[in-house]
A = this chain, B = another copy of it.
């Protein structure tokens, strides 16, 4: 008896749904959202299309559930470690982000560039993720050691998150001469650079 079959008979519906979403996220790593069909998931999970429709309702709801699951994964995996110096914690979080996008490139780009345009719910999930990543900078650095909580700095952090995303998306398929460590330094180093060295008018 395979692990899948065993799990199918013993898991609760919620657990089974979670397991299917995990599989959906894994399938999305090297596929765009458009390429992730209920047929494909059914085949990979070894269960019927009818059962998947029972769990997810329709294709749009299925995609939304998978993307929400992926977003939860991304937020959890990029949480900074609980202790240590603020800059080291920032670097660890940035490294986790870069590694997540690298490991889930097709699905991530598909979310950012594609699904964002056509579907308000996916757009909402994407905006939520950006908001969480940006706000976390302030909640995780409550003493303001890296960045002080001001309206101007909230704007700067929002721009920094957009920059980080663009850098990873551009770097990943063609890193060229830029190593992963250099990329991490650019992204993590950019935040204090932006905050500390920007001119302010007299």
Contact = CB atoms under 8 A, between A and B. Distances in A.
Interface of A: 113-118, 123, 151-152, 155-156, 158-167, 170-171, 176-178, 181-183, 185-186, 189-190, 193-194, 196-201
Contact of A113 (B117, B155, B196): B117
Nearest to A198: B189
Contacts of A160: 163
Contact of A118 (B117, B156, B190, B200): B117
A120 to B, nearest CB: 10
Contacts of A155: 167, 170-171, 178, 183, 186
Given A113-B123, A155-B178, A159-B190, 9 more contacts: A113-B117, A114-B117, A115-B117, A159-B166, A162-B162, A162-B166, A182-B200, A190-B194, A193-B194
Contacts of A162: 162-163, 165-167
Contacts of A152: 177-178, 182, 186
Nearest to A192: B197
Most buried by B among A163, A185, A190: A163
5 contacts: A113-B123, A151-B177, A155-B167, A159-B167, A162-B165
A177 B193 CA distance: 22
Given A114-B117, A200-B182, A159 B164 contact: yes
Contacts of A198: 185-186, 189-190, 193
Given A113-B123, A198-B186, A159 B151 contact: no
Contacts of A196: 197
A161 to B, nearest CB: 8
A168 B138 CA distance: 21
Across the A-B interface, give the 9 residue pairs with the lowest CB-CB distance, nearest first.
Answer: A117-B117, A162-B166, A163-B163, A159-B163, A159-B167, A193-B197, A189-B198, A151-B177, A189-B199
